[in-house]
A and B are shown apart, each in its own frame.
Chain A
């Protein structure tokens, strides 16, 4: 009975080894990867940086590859990707670096922050020229009704207004916790936390009155919001900079000076206008970024005015392919790993409990947190996403294999035993076929939940329908979100149907 245990463990370690070696570092390759966070401004700045690098490279006739990995995720994910060498640089804000990354709210000046970054192997460019600080914005009607102009004015009317803050804002020390401390207003008790881009949707349709905004948001104007004055100076400065790996600076002095030349060239008005090109005019990020390089911002090239929505629409087939590959590979690994683990779990009680416990714990880890844990190990992109998807897909397969094998009639097992079948003959000719129905339904569960979970893979740049959904969230476009969500739902239905069809072929006839 020891052989299957050894073989199972062997399979597991091979699987692990294969994945551990898939992590590739860009340090080894001659390319520069530009990342960005998942909101309009970060996308545009990422495009500007990438284009600037490309332009300067043409002059220098250097053949370093410039790769764009925009919209990878939130601060934590970008920072991990930068430290791990998956990306070379991304646009960041001085306030965020001090508060969220270095956890040093005491660092105020540019030089202080720059010095603190050095030990991490990072450096930042000179400020780009605008301060995109947090601000609180209210609906104009509400502002008029309660005569609100400053943040201090909120204190007496706190119970009268509905607040929706972005997740990041509710947790960062420079967000609502810091604000509450300075103004002595208990925001937390009245706040609903939501995705930042959805907060705009909520305030537009009037289901909330107050939200956090970035001072360069184009939506402040388009939604008719009033920005409340930070009369006690609670918010730190958020000067936009490009956060870069130090080894990039030493390896590519020419490219670095190109980035430094961006310093002081974008003021708040310019940035708000570039943001509006995407959110108001529905240009794609690259076209909006082109606005930076044009002499006059009013003169927009008509060919670049292809709406961002159409761009995403044209990518549906591509996204479907990405999504299917993600789900398919994850399912394959879940099968290859899950069935042996399920078999092992039936071997001994203690081992079985351990396997079921571990695969159960995987399920409880929130997906975003799991992705963050995996980035330092497997990098951003498909590697980490597959591991995460496998971890989620494993439990149904392991569990159903275990239960399927356990619920086989004792007398049939004795009979197989009495006929002189050895362990493997009994396993492959009797036990697995008898458990096939249960294993199969575990696979189906794994596939269908996998389709949903795979949308999160886009958070770390692995593509799929999630990329369309996140792009929609980033520019607050419900139609675009649907463009990603609806095919995912259709795919789940289709997969369900396909499993039904295969069911008739795969399950032994005598069991149907």
Chain B
């Protein structure tokens, strides 16, 4: 059960009143319509998830998930833990093979037999950065480029570019991950993710482990980078304020299903399911907006 006390208004001690609001029943077709609407502006430069389902031991983890993320749009997958949002990212990366459905990038489907090509178009920032501890920041960033036999000049040139984008101090590049702060690690991980200039950036709770001040700082930086790079961004989080701050579109997941997709105000004003209101109100009072 979520807390009913608003974290940001503890002194007033407001109690959420959504329990009292009448339940709205939403059927599946309505949900699909909504998704279609979200992905409405049909452009070929698009990252698309089509009807992806996955079960483990007959428990459904992902249930018929569809999503369209055009270039330049940041789409937030919002949900509590166990809602399937990280699993969806892993499926998009080919780490987990879905039982049904597939992923498309500018019209091309993910081929599980030859994932390398696909993955080079996807940048990935894992939870806590996922930097390899035996490599320096620099070695982490250029790892994939070296396996692709990029020449030295090309690597140096690109390194300069991504360093400028992420605004990382050059001296940090020679440090090992354990010598970097949490915020620095995240920036290095982002540099690694965008090094090959992918079309899509996937981020799995990238800021979860950071303290609030660093977190808001990195959030600001991420927003700037997203804005500048104009990539399709899919970011997983359970933090609504982060979702609102970084996302153009938000999908709320529960039990492997997308309950609602839309802008934050859609979710707030026309919730498709009582859980949508419950989830939003559990974290913060939005009445003031």
Q: Which residues of A contact B (CB under 8 A)?
A: 411-412, 414-422, 425, 429-430, 433-434, 436, 508-511
Contacts and interface: CB of A to CB of B under 8 A. Distances in A.
A420 B126 contact: no
Interface in B127-153: 127-128, 130, 132-136, 143-144, 147
B235 to A, nearest CB: 15
A181 B133 CA distance: 70
B32 interface: no
A47 B136 CA distance: 65
Contact of B176 (A416, A419, A422, A510): A510
Interface string B156-191: 000000000000000000001110000000000000
B124 A415 contact: yes
B128 A511 contact: no
Contact of A415 (B94, B118, B130, B178): B130
A429 B133 contact: no
A510 to B, nearest CB: 4
A511 B176 CA distance: 9
A112 B177 CA distance: 80
Nearest to B127: A411
Nearest to A424: B147
B124 A510 contact: no
A429 B147 contact: yes
A511 B134 contact: yes
Interface in B185-240: 192
B132 A412 contact: yes
Contacts of A417: 93-95
B89 to A, nearest CB: 9
B120 to A, nearest CB: 6
Contacts of A412: 130, 132
B244 interface: no
A430 to B, nearest CB: 6
A417 B192 CA distance: 14
Contacts of B93: 414, 417-418
Contacts of B176: 509-510
B144 to A, nearest CB: 5
B18 interface: no
B132 A434 contact: yes
A420 B116 contact: yes
Nearest to A436: B134
Most chain A beta-carbon neighbours within 10 Å: one of B122, B136, B143: B143
A418 B126 contact: yes
Contact of B133 (A414, A421, A422, A510): A510
Contacts of B122: 418
B123 to A, nearest CB: 9
Contact of B126 (A415, A433, A508): A415
Nearest to A507: B134
Contact of A419 (B119, B133, B134, B177): B119
Contact of B134 (A411, A414, A510): A510
Contacts of B136: 510
Contacts of A430: 132
A418 B178 contact: no
Contacts of B95: 414, 417-418
A510 B135 CA distance: 6
B90 interface: yes
B115 interface: yes
A416 B95 CA distance: 10
B116 A434 contact: no
Given A419-B143, A422-B116, A411 B133 contact: no
A421 B147 contact: yes
Contacts of A422: 116
A418 B124 contact: yes
Contacts of B143: 419, 421, 429
Contacts of B177: 510
A233 to B, nearest CB: 75
B161 to A, nearest CB: 19
B272 to A, nearest CB: 32
A27 B74 CA distance: 81
B18 to A, nearest CB: 36
A417 to B, nearest CB: 5
Nearest to A413: B95
B133 A511 contact: yes
Nearest to B177: A510
A411 B126 contact: yes
A364 B268 CA distance: 69
A157 B30 CA distance: 103
A511 to B, nearest CB: 5
5 contacts: A414-B90, A417-B93, A419-B143, A510-B136, A511-B133
Nearest to A428: B147
Given A419-B144, A420-B144, A425-B147, A510 B130 contact: no
Contacts of A511: 133-134
B147 A411 contact: no
B126 A414 contact: yes
Given A422-B116, A510-B135, A510-B136, 5 more contacts: A412-B130, A418-B95, A509-B176, A510-B176, A510-B177
B147 to A, nearest CB: 5
A484 to B, nearest CB: 42
A412 to B, nearest CB: 6
Given A414-B90, A422-B116, A508 B147 contact: no
Contacts of B90: 414, 418
Contact of B119 (A420, A429, A433, A509): A420
B133 A434 contact: yes
Question: Which 7 pairs from chain A and chain B are nearest by CB?
Answer: A420-B119, A510-B176, A508-B134, A415-B130, A418-B93, A418-B124, A433-B134
A512 to B, nearest CB: 9
Nearest to B178: A510
B117 to A, nearest CB: 8
A417 B93 CA distance: 8
A67 B192 CA distance: 67
B178 to A, nearest CB: 7
Nearest to A508: B134
B115 A420 contact: yes
Contacts of B118: 420
A343 B268 CA distance: 52
A421 to B, nearest CB: 6
Nearest to A429: B143
B124 A419 contact: yes
A419 B146 CA distance: 12
Contacts of B147: 421, 425, 429
